[in-house]
Every structure is written in structure tokens, then in C-alpha cells.
Structure 1
Amino acid sequence: MDSRQLRYFLAVVEHGSVTRAAEVLFVAQPALSQSLRGLESELGVELFRRVPRGMELTDAGVALLGPARQVMQSSQHADNVVRGIATLEQGWLDVASPPDLAVEPLVSLVARFRARYPGVWVNLIDPGPNADVESLLRNARCEVGVDYLPADDDKLSTYGLGRRRLLLGLPPEASRTQSVNFPIDGLADLPLVAGPRGTAVRDEVERVCAERGFTPRVVVEVEHEHNVYLLVAAGAGAAFLTEPEARRSERRGVRVVRTEPELGHDFGLVFRSGPLSPAARAFVTLATAARTDVIREPPPDERDR
């Protein structure tokens, strides 16, 4: 049996005759009668008795009445859920991001998204030390992430949102006569605190130093990069900090200087190529509309809208 047959069955029960049910349903009476006969044949029982006043339920018809109503209610609920997800009245969205980008820009993007789509539940995912945003996207753990660019996987779509500048934090005992522009070559003799290899800041520092023919002196390696500025403040070494970290560290006496040349990296959206769910597509649209510094062309998914 299918939901159409059950809908016809319930309509005849409610209106008392095939003729009246057909009128209400806007279907031809022969088609409705054929559907009912098909349902009875499939079940192997008669559901109605034909009486002068119309149609009466048999015992089998009475037994079917409750389950039929439950099926139609469940079908209506499923339809409402799907429509709600499609119209973003409800649904969910998984967004992955490394911890430093989860502060900004992700916090403001999610707040703006929630204000516009309050019925959508948002789950923020930290990839952790044994994964990254791109692997979560490839494994379908999420549809969209905020990450450093460029993406290693050319099958993923990206959209630049801005550039994160890196500043050099020097321990409090560092000379206050140090120029505000620290030469990159000076890193060769400077003890550094850094995250492990494979993290965005560490890789950027090593790349720039390698171009100048030396390896940076990392004396303390920290798994969780958000603790780096605390070690700088304690005098364990110097470190490259994002601007929010630099502001926090200055309150602890850290000397913050720019480098020459300046270090930094682009960040933006990374998402699966091809069709996105309504919530993910809306998040991409909102984020690209709110970008602060465009560094790529619009995402390919926008061509499908």
C-alpha cells in the first residue's frame, strides 16, 4: 500500500461516500474506486460495506483506521521537516575551524547566521590534533569550514575572507630599544616558542626562514597554540602571534613588533564542491557577503543558484 491509497481510504471514511471523497480530493470517482479496490486486493480483505446511505467500515476497515491515520500523520510530519529544512525554518549546520579562526571570523559569522536563521542548529567542530578541516570535509563530517588558504585539496572550493597578520612577540625583558620592524634574518639567533609542524603559523615561519637559508630555533613546542603567548610573557622565548593574541600578550608585558617582511596568511571558506545543503549554502552566501577582503573569485556553487 502507499500513502495515496491511505489518503483516499481516510477521505471516504470522513465523507461517507466515494462520490463526495472524490469531489473533495479533486480526483475522478473511477480512479478513487480503483485505488480502494487495489488496496482491498493487496490486503486480502474488504474495507467497506456498500449500504444505501453510502459506505460503512468493515471490522478490517476499523482495524486499518488507526494505523492509516498514524502513517498519514508521520508522512505530514516528514513533509513539514523537509520543507522546514529547505526553507531554513529548521535544520542543522556543521562548521569546522581551527581554534584560532574559531574566535574570528567564525564567531561573528555564526552570530550573524543565527540571527537570520534562528531555527537552524549550528555545531562548531574543532578538528583536533589528529585531523584538519580538509579531512573533515572529504569525509563528509561537515560541508563547510573556515581555514587557512590555499587548500591542499584542489577538489575543494575556497573563498577568501581576509588575511591574518602575524606579529612577533618578544619576552618582557627584551630591549625596549628594539626597532618596531624586526628583520626576519634576526630569527636565526632568536629562541622561539611555536606550535608543532603542520600548524599554520609554524609552517609559515619555517617557509620564510627556509627562503633565507636557515632554520628557526624552536626551543619550546606547544601542542595548543593559544597558550604560546603565555610562554612568551613568562620569558620562555619569542613567538609569532595573531593580532588578538598580540593584544592580550601586551597586557602581560610582552613586547610586540612587526617583522620585515611581514608574515601572515590568507583565510577563508573551504567547502565541498557540488550542491550544498540549504543551511550550508546559506552560510556560504552570508559569509561571502560579509567578507572584509576578497582574495578569490566567487565560489563555483554560486553558479548553481
Structure 2
Amino acid sequence: MNLRQYEYALAVADEGSMTAAADRLRVTQPSLSQQIAALEKNLGVRLFTRTPSGVRVTVAGRAFLAEAKIATTASRRAVTAARAADGELAGELVMAVYMGLGARQLPEVLGQLRSCYPKLQVTLFEEPDPADMERLVREGTLDMILVHHIPAWCTFEAHPLGQEAYVAVLPKGHPLLEDGGALRLEDLESEGWIRYRRASLLDDYLARLLTDARLSPPTVARASQISTAVRLVAHGLGVTVVPASAIPEGFEELARPLLPSLTEPVLVGVRRNPGAAEAAMLDHLGRQNWCGAELLLGQGVAVG
């Protein structure tokens, strides 16, 4: 057995198909099938059940793949650590990000890292639901998380980056945009609201806001991305509330601050015993402006 076989098995499980996994891995399908068969023979168990539509992971396969994921992650980190010790920052850094966080900052940070460390690869998991994030952390897949709050079950060390302001977004030409002042949630009660995917952290946050304010405005649509929600608002479908720094460029004039001010901390969580790649990412993140209100101020929008 070898780590390449582990990676092959993980790819087959992810894709649910030998053919799709072979395409992803850039190997031939017969070669992949032979490697999986050799791995199963060595283990003495079937990892996959072949079906007309693809493959399914067996009970034994699920148990094996959980440990295989940990082994391949450890191997990736070992390579990164060895190269960093030799003065070369390379390998893969894996990070999970809550919806809307870092929409303006992360592209700049990743560009800077790419320029400084061209052999370092950064993989982002955007908006994993709480169960997925917990699974990724427990598997050892994640190196860092960008969040508002470190979950109680997470052992990552928290590093504060700043405070994120929330703003209301209204359609072009809406009367409430005219004076440029702050708005109360009550001002938006009669409007149709663009909400987000149920059980997403952002939608849970909006639900708590509305419940605490004893408001129940109608939901006219749900979006899975903040940029989509803002564009729907811009075309008159309704209103929404979003983190200020998540507003796409060109739509800042549609944003208005909320009164009382709504903010949440922005934290980056780093796994225990981090390496040089995590330190480099943390350094570049810390150089960014994480006060969303100030980002909009730079666009000429009054936010306070």
C-alpha cells in the first residue's frame, strides 16, 4: 500500500465514478481500477461496490477512507514543513471561510502569497455548513478557518483581525437611499427580503436579528451567494442585510449603515502546531483592513 493508492481511493469516493476520478487524477481508467483492486486485495476488504451508474463506498470503505484522509493530510503537511525548513515555502494550505468573509481581502492576500511563494497552493472551502466544518476539522483537513466565532468544539487558536459591520442593501432609486443616513431594521419591515440558504450561518444570523427585533418581513427569494443577493436587490426584487466588505464592487452606493450598529468580530483560527505556511497567511491577513465600514467609506458611502 502507498499514499498514492489512498489518494486514488479518496478521489473515487469523491467522484462516485472510476471514470470521473481517472479524469480528475489524469490517469487512465484501467490503471486506476488496477490500483484500487490492488489496494482492496492488500486490505482484504472491498472499499467500493460497483453499480451500473458508478461506485458506492462500503461500510469498510468509509472506515478506511476516514483514516486515509488523515494520512494524506499528514503527508501533505510533512512535505510542506520539510520544504519550509529548507527555505522554500511550498505545498498546500487548506482554509474554510464563512459566507461573505474576506470577499475583498482574500483575493489580495492570495495574490500576495502567490507572488511571494509561487509553489504554495491555497485551497478554500467556502461556506461549509457547521457539520461539514466540524468533519473537516476532525479529519485534520483544515489548516485555518476565517470565521466570526470559533466553534466550541474547535481546538484552533483564535487570532482577531477586526470587526465586520453589517449594512442594509436597497434597490437603485429606493427613497430610503436619498439622505444617505443610517437605517433601522424597522424601516425595512414592509419590504420583501432576500434571504440566504436555510441553515447557512448568515441566514441564521438574519433570523436572529429579525426575531430579536420582533419583525417578520416577507421573504421573496433566497440566494446561496451574497453577490447574487445584492444583484437581485439592485434590480428591485427586495432588500437584504450583508457584511459590508462582502458587497461586490460597483454596488456600494446601495448600502446604508444600520442603527443601532451591527458588528461581529472577524477571527482567523489556526490549527495547533502550525507551520510556516500558516504563519505567512496569518501575517498577510493581518495587514488587511477588516473593518467593512471603512471599506465603504473609501467608496464615498456614509456608514456612521
Taking only the aligned residue pairs, the percentage that are identical comes to 18
> Quick one: structure 1 residues 182 and 165, their matched pair in 2 at CA, closer, same or farther if it must change by over 3 Å?
same
Counterpart residue number, 1:298: none
Where does 1:18-29 land on structure 2 (aligned, <5 Å)?
none
Partner Cα separation in structure 2 for residue 81 and residue 105 of structure 1: 25
Where does 1:159-238 land on structure 2 (aligned, <5 Å)?
159-175=159-175, 177=178, 180-238=181-239
TM-score under structure 1 length normalisation: 0.58
> Quick one: structure 1 residues 187 and 120, their matched pair in 2 at CA, closer, same or farther if it must change by over 3 Å?
same
Q: What one-letter code is carried by the residue in structure 2 that aligns with 1:138?
A: R
Counterpart residue number, 2:83: 84
Counterpart residue number, 2:299: none
> In the alignment, does 2:248 pair up with 1:249?
no
Alignment match of 2:282 (pick from 281, 284, 303): 284
Where does 1:63-212 land on structure 2 (aligned, <5 Å)?
83-89=82-88, 90-98=90-98, 100-128=100-128, 133-175=133-175, 177=178, 180-212=181-213
Partner Cα separation in structure 2 for residue 106 and residue 255 of structure 1: 23
Tell me by how many angstroms 1:174 deviates. Answer: 1.9
Partner Cα separation in structure 1 for residue 284 and residue 178 of structure 2: 45
Gaps of 5+ in 1: 1-78, 295-305
Partner Cα separation in structure 1 for residue 257 and residue 101 of structure 2: 21
Give yes or no for contact 1:156–1:270 (8 Å, CA) kept in 2.
Answer: yes
> Quick one: structure 1 residues 85 and 191, their matched pair in 2 at CA, closer, same or farther if it must change by over 3 Å?
same
Q: How many residues end up aligned between the 2 structures?
A: 211
> Quick one: structure 1 residues 283 and 136, their matched pair in 2 at CA, closer, same or farther if it must change by over 3 Å?
same
Counterpart residue number, 1:27: none
Q: What one-letter code is carried by the residue in structure 2 that aligns with 1:271?
A: V
TM-score under structure 2 length normalisation: 0.58
Where does 1:36-75 land on structure 2 (aligned, <5 Å)?
none
Q: What one-letter code is carried by the residue in structure 2 that aligns with 1:248?
A: G
Q: What one-letter code is carried by the residue in structure 1 that aligns with 2:265?
A: D
Tell me by how many angstroms 1:191 deviates. Answer: 1.5
> Quick one: structure 1 residues 187 and 174, their matched pair in 2 at CA, closer, same or farther if it must change by over 3 Å?
same
Determine helix, strand or coil for the equivalent of 1:185. helix
Partner Cα separation in structure 1 for residue 147 and residue 223 of structure 2: 20
CA deviation digits over 1:95-118, x for unaligned, max 9?
A: 222453353322233233333333
Partner Cα separation in structure 1 for residue 126 and residue 161 of structure 2: 19
Determine helix, strand or coil for the equivalent of 1:136. helix
Partner Cα separation in structure 2 for residue 169 and residue 258 of structure 1: 9
Counterpart residue number, 1:267: 266
Partner Cα separation in structure 2 for residue 282 and residue 81 of structure 1: 13
CA deviation digits over 1:97-151, x for unaligned, max 9?
A: 2453353322233233333333323223335568654542232122112222243
Give yes or no for contact 2:165–2:244 (8 Å, CA) kept in 1.
Answer: yes
Counterpart residue number, 1:37: none
Partner Cα separation in structure 2 for residue 279 and residue 182 of structure 1: 42
> Quick one: structure 1 residues 134 and 267, their matched pair in 2 at CA, closer, same or farther if it must change by over 3 Å?
farther
Larger radius of gyration: 1
Q: What one-letter code is carried by the residue in structure 1 that aligns with 2:276?
A: P
Determine helix, strand or coil for the equivalent of 2:100. helix
Determine helix, strand or coil for the equivalent of 1:257. strand
